[in-house]
Amino acid sequence: MNNPYPLSPIPYPPSPIPCNMPDAQKFLDPEMLAKLQGLQLRARTIVEGYVSGVHRSPFHGFSIEFAEHREYSPGDDLRYLDWKVFGRTDKFYLKQYEEETNLVCYLLLDTSESMTYKSDAAAMSKLEYAQCAAAALAYLILHQQDSVGLAAFDEELRSLVRPSGNPSHLKELLHFMEQTPGGRKTATGPIFHDLAERFKKRGIVVVLSDLFDDVEQMIRGLEHFRHRRHEVVLMHVLDPAELDFPFERITLFRGLEQLPQALVEPRAIRKAYLAEFGNYLRRLKTACRKHRIDYVPLRTDRPLEVTLASYLASRGK
């Protein structure tokens, strides 16, 4: 199933649907940030870094967490000699520890046309919801003195903001999202392969998308990130209407991402639609489990801070 729901219900006869992008100030709600206070996006695996932080590094130093022993060499700091090992072996060995380091997070924002959809049950479109999620994550990452970058894509890579840990970087990211319009069809597979080669420093890749694309190609692209030793978090942004299909009366669906419009009787296709959509979700979640990818559903009719807080808290454990 390539596009399980690339359609937007509109009144009959058709009328244009505006998609107003919120200004940068609306991306970050103070009440939401207050509820996320104290939470961090921590790396589960070893990450590379340049400065001291809260994440484990592959580079050995003298920090807190013991890693291994190595033989003493003249000039080494004698404070780290392991005298118990010396007593057993009559040889000098030093304790080595894992050095803590900073994290790089890459936010991948889907700006394809299907992301502009908003049903009556949602307060904002999928794109606006994803933008708010990206802004909140960027805020938390910079607040914990880590680095964050942002890429926008549809069938092409539209823009790329390089990672930075400077607090002023948040303003650039918000401005970037404000200037990024919803666009064309989705092509996640080629985009993910391209970005996997661009991201040289391993870190956490967070994808914010409705994932309306060929599952096999999409997963192969995500596998490329895993092959490059990145952690991957898939934040699946969906409107409640796409999950529940609540339509009752004859509805004209406007085709998105270059698909034709269709006039249908919703009650006649609801069962088949829900079965097909459920199968699509099962395939996606199964692939994520297989490749150790975090799958995080984001429903646009639910408070963003609740979903983010729940995920970050569970990840921290």
CA 195 to chain CA mean position, Å? 14
Please name the amino acid found at residue 271.
Answer: K
The pLDDT tens digits for 24-72 are 467 888 778 787 877 787 776 544 444 444 445 444 444 445 556 667 7
Within 8 A by CB and 6+ apart from 8, the residues are 17, 117, 253, 254, 256
The pLDDT tens digits for 141-150 are 998 889 999 9
Contact 100, 54 (CB under 8 A): yes
Contact 205, 141 (CB under 8 A): no
- When computed from its CA atoms, the radius of gyration of the chain, rounded to whole angstroms, is 23
| Interstrand relation of 104-110 and 147-153 (parallel, antiparallel or unpaired) | parallel
Q: Token pair for residue 178?
A: 């404000």
CA 30 to chain CA mean position, Å? 21
Contact 149, 198 (CB under 8 A): no
Please state, in angstroms and as integers, the Cα–Cα distance from residue 147 to each residue in 54, 74, 225, 233, 279, following that order: 12, 37, 18, 16, 37
Domain spans in the chain, listed from the N-terminal domain onward:
7-42+103-316, 55-101
Q: What is the pLDDT of residue 257?
A: 75
Neighbours of 17 (CB within 10 A): 14
CATH class of 7-42+103-316: alpha beta
Query: How would you write the pLDDT of the chain (317 residues) with one tens digit per residue?
Result: 444 444 544 333 232 323 333 444 678 887 787 878 777 877 765 444 444 444 454 444 444 455 566 677 666 667 777 888 888 888 887 775 544 447 899 999 999 999 999 999 999 999 999 999 999 999 999 988 899 999 999 989 988 999 999 888 998 998 888 877 666 788 899 999 999 999 988 999 999 999 999 999 999 999 999 999 999 999 999 999 999 999 999 988 887 777 788 898 999 999 999 999 999 999 999 999 999 999 999 999 999 999 999 999 888 76
